[in-house]
Amino acid sequence: MSTEKLTMDSDGYFSRRRGPGPGPIAFTSLVQLLTASMSVIIIVLAIQQGTHLIIEEVSVRKSTISDYQKIVADLEKEVAAIKARREADLTRLEALEAKTNNAQVTGDINSRPQAEPDKTSDASKSVAESYASTGSADVPAHHQRQKRAANSVTWPAGAGACLQGPPGRDGRDGMPGRDCPCGTKATEIDELQRKCEDLEQRVSDLENTTETTPTPMPCSGDTCNLPSSCTEVAGRSGFDNQAFYVIDPDGPGRGVLPMVVQCDLEGQTAITLIGHDSEARTHVDGFEAPASYSKDVTYWNSMDQVRAVVDQSSLCKQLIKYECHSSVIWGSTVRPHAWWVTWDGRQTDYWGGASPGSGKCACGQTGACSGRCNCDANDLRWREDSGFLSHKNDLPVTQLRFGDTGDAREEGYYTLGKLICYL
């Protein structure tokens, strides 16, 4: 192979001195080629560096996801703990209900001797004085400690024995507030909190009921002969209006235990009143579906005792009222949006002032309104449907149901009065 020397001419080109061949080669082309190669190398290095950074970022994000998964797991544990507390409250409530329902009074109740009518017992009057001292017509929710001794009640339990109810204890504080963990579904936590608070109140009410279960004590004199109604109380010695007395509605030697009732006068007629925990005017808002709002009604006495009063009375009645703002009772649907439940759990189809089976309120039955009820106008105005329920086979009211309050302009207020009975 021969070698040739390339010489650079005056124009900056290398050229062969002799022989045919390609033209001169530019030096700048070599520089450009080298520059392009270096650019490719730099780009490759940059891509490698970028890939490394992306890998690091993916690793960081995986770590972040892992942290979030731990947070979610912690939140799930918190929700599970809240649910467990709720289940514990339910279990506690059921136990107290069973304790209340199964509480048995020692002594042979059915062996109580028939006694001649006599004056109302001093112990019976002491109940009136202790309750009246609160300045309210309602049974007080809590007793002051210094008044406890005056709150015990005696009544007969058989030959040589009577029953005495110990005073109720002071109420306790409600459930403590709970912090909502960051990121937790607020609606679920709020709902559980509301249910727990409701259960706590019911537990407290049941504890008070359980603690006033009668216990045996010696029996003598007037304490072994109780009146059967407020009419009999008035006939024996009279009474103070809206005072509380102990009566035995089905008489000695029968059925239910003696019970505390409120006695009052309507004109010259003695009436018996039995209160409950739902007498206050109560707001309903945020429940759209028919009957999605529900309120159970708990009475001062057991349902057997209340029904004993109803059975021995010639007439009983109970006021029910619904103040509505674009919240219907019936509306245009076949199924009502609001109703009440009878003492034995039956859904009703009539409102206060109307007849059973009518499917109407008082105004609908008398023709005073164009529809079934005033509230069915649904016209963004405050209206009212109210009246007395007086069908004895249905009384007392044990549950209230309402709906059609989901819109911002829809709301209502309900009021349920005491059960009033006439001998």
128-162 tens-digit pLDDT: 444 444 444 444 444 343 344 444 444 444 444 44
pLDDT at 20: 53
* Phi-psi group of 415: left, alpha or beta (phi > 0 → left; psi -120 to 50 → alpha; rest → beta): beta
Please answer whether residues 162 and 155 qualify as being in contact, where contact means their C-beta atoms are separated by less than 8 angstroms: yes
Q: How many CB atoms lie within 10 A of CB 175?
A: 13
- Separation CA 332–CA 376 (nearest Å): 8
pLDDT at 292: 96
pLDDT at 10: 55
Nearest-5° angle of CA 179, CA 182, CA 188?
A: 70
Residue 182 identity: C
Contacts of residue 64, Cβ cutoff 8 Å, sequence gap at least 6:
none
Count Cβ atoms within 10 A of the Cβ of residue 204 and give its class: 0-12 exposed, 13-18 middle, 19 or more buried: middle
End-to-end CA distance of the chain: 141
pLDDT at 187: 64
Count Cβ atoms within 10 A of the Cβ of residue 19 and give its class: 0-12 exposed, 13-18 middle, 19 or more buried: exposed
Range 275-423 classified under CATH 2.60.120.1000: yes
The parts of the chain modelled with pLDDT lower than 70 are 1-28, 53, 56-64, 68, 99-192, 201-224
Q: In which order are the strands placed within the sheet that holds 293-296?
A: 293-296, 399-402, 339-341
pLDDT digits over 309-340, tens only?
999 999 999 999 999 999 999 987 778 999 99
pLDDT at 375: 96
